[in-house]
Structure 1
Amino acid sequence: MERVTAIDSYVSELDRRLHGPRRRKADMIVEVRDGLHDAAEAVRADSPEVDPAEAERRAVAEFGPLRAVAPEFQAELAVAQAWRTAWVFAVALPLVMTLSTLLWRSTSTGVAPTPGYHELAHANDLFLVAASVGFAVALLLMHVLARRAASPVALVRVVGVGAVVTVLAMMGAGIVLAMGAPGRGTSLWGALLGGLPTLPGYGLLLYLGVRCLRLTRPRGPGAGRPSRRPAPVPSA
């Protein structure tokens, strides 16, 4: 049976405590493992009399306790998730508005909408534009905060809340507009059934927002709260 080393134990526990984008987390764990092995080799090079097990223990001790290290890495994963979420919303919302307009024109019955309906549809379009711009601004702010050594963790929560609110507002507006569509309005049940094809897309967007919120919550004993240290922002 293969012996579990101090580095293996440390990295496994760190992996268990961290939650976030899989690829970024996997890269992070590999970087930590490699860094610890390099540190252990440096200890052995400076003190050849030290056995490998002791060198690993010293490397782990120098790296820091998990209760202090894990929140630092968790903050970075939360920012990576927020970046992904804001980018998806900034791109997806204009596409949703464009596709909705094209669909509306292709299925128009020629019946003029009432002033109230027209104002509601216009307000929905303005909301989508404003939300898209807001998420684009969030991307910029994450870069600015990182450069100024400020924590972006609060912004991660803002992105999460904004994403959840945006999805719920889009779903609600879609139902109301479907029910009052000129010449082809339907009941609430009919609007819900008609919206079933869009549920996977809305579900994905909602998941991204909820994920941002979950990643900023403390997890497990000793996990601590997300670090206030600025975390690197992914480029895309």
Structure 2
Amino acid sequence: MTGGGPIDVHVTALRSALRGPGRLKRDLLAEARDGLLDAAEAYECDGLPRAEAERRAVEDFGPVADIAPGFQRELAVGQGRRTALLLFLSVPPTAFLWNLMWMISPEPSSLTTPKPAWFGLLARVVDYSQLLTGLTGAVVLLALGRGLRRLRRPALVTRSLGLFVCLGMPMTVAMCMALGLTRGMSDIFADWPGTALGAGSLALWLWQLYSATRCLRFAGAVTRADPAHSRSYA
């Protein structure tokens, strides 16, 4: 988009107004530009000069302030799908691998004394919370996929998912650390499988948190793009 014609100027302005996943944003802008070029070519076939044909195509397409909210909603939904897929594919396998690691790793002899009364309860809470996170990812993925046409406020689903992860993940990590310290994490990390699992879990946690913050950012941009209609259509 290096040209200076009305179409290039309009698409560049639209790009500056949008916030979203890079690849999806490029695809949407390319689609918009292709549509504008097709419209301009149709006007040229009717005898208009190129510059006037592009100007007419841009007028038909609409000003950035009017069209940006629709594009921004689609970008927010795209980020919601990405985050939901990440949760669905990463949380349940990670929980399974940790449970397997705890079962096959011998407990240090220094920690064979009875554990605190809260240990078993907290372990179950962690298991259920991880199951809930995986199921939430699956439900949101379906809602923002096949169920998208039935949603009046899809960006709100993306925002809610971001909040769910940003608020719930620190609690889950804290509970896992409490269980690990009571159980003896140094014994788990003594061998390379435990070290690899720990490093992989940390990387996934950071990735999930990063993806969730992007959900909040891009869904919030829907309101900023169209504050007058955000309550009805976000």
TM class, shorter-length: 0.7 to 0.9
Aligned partner of 1:216 in structure 2 is: 219
Distance 1:71 1:4 in 2: 25
Say if 2:40 and 2:50, in contact at 8 Å, map to a contact too. Answer: yes
Paired residue type of 2:106: S
Residues 143, 185 of structure 1: alpha-carbon distance in 2 compared, 3 angstrom cutoff: closer
- Displacement of 1:179 in angstroms is 2.3
TM-score by length of 2: 0.83
Aligned partner of 1:35 in structure 2 is: 35
Aligned mate of 1:69, from 60, 67, 70? 67
Aligned partner of 1:171 in structure 2 is: 173
The alignment's C-alpha RMSD in Å is 2.6
Of all paired residues, the percent bearing the same amino acid is: 32
Distance 2:75 2:18 in 1: 8
* 1:82-136 superposed Cα distances (whole Å, 9 cap, x missing partner): 0110111022111121111122123231736444211111111011112211221
Say if 1:72 and 1:229, in contact at 8 Å, map to a contact too. Answer: no
Any stretches of 5+ residues in structure 1 without a counterpart?
187-193, 231-236
Aligned partner of 1:201 in structure 2 is: 204
- Displacement of 1:144 in angstroms is 5.4
Aligned mate of 1:107, from 105, 108, 124? 105
Distance 1:205 1:31 in 2: 29
- Displacement of 1:224 in angstroms is 3.0
Residues 90, 25 of structure 1: alpha-carbon distance in 2 compared, 3 angstrom cutoff: same
Aligned partner of 1:134 in structure 2 is: 136
Distance 1:200 1:17 in 2: 31
Q: How do 1:1-236 residues align onto structure 2 when only pairs under 5 Å count?
A: 4-46=4-46, 48=47, 50-109=48-107, 111=112, 113-143=115-145, 145-148=147-150, 150-181=152-183, 184=184, 197=199, 198-218=201-221, 223-225=225-227
User: More displaced, 26-35 or 98-107?
Assistant: 98-107
- Displacement of 1:36 in angstroms is 0.3
SS in 2 for 1:180: helix
SS in 2 for 1:216: helix
Say if 1:163 and 1:209, in contact at 8 Å, map to a contact too. Answer: yes
Aligned partner of 1:233 in structure 2 is: none
- Displacement of 1:156 in angstroms is 1.0
Runs of 4+ deviating beyond 4 Å: 225-230
Say if 2:159 and 2:220, in contact at 8 Å, map to a contact too. Answer: no
Distance 1:157 1:120 in 2: 28
Any stretches of 5+ residues in structure 2 without a counterpart?
187-194
SS in 2 for 1:104: helix
* 1:31-71 superposed Cα distances (whole Å, 9 cap, x missing partner): 1111101001111222x1x2111110110011001011111
Distance 2:147 2:96 in 1: 32
Say if 1:145 and 1:152, in contact at 8 Å, map to a contact too. Answer: no
Say if 2:85 and 2:141, in contact at 8 Å, map to a contact too. Answer: yes
Paired residue type of 1:33: R
Distance 1:8 1:125 in 2: 52
- Displacement of 1:152 in angstroms is 0.7
TM-score by length of 1: 0.82
Distance 1:153 1:53 in 2: 37
Paired residue type of 1:134: T
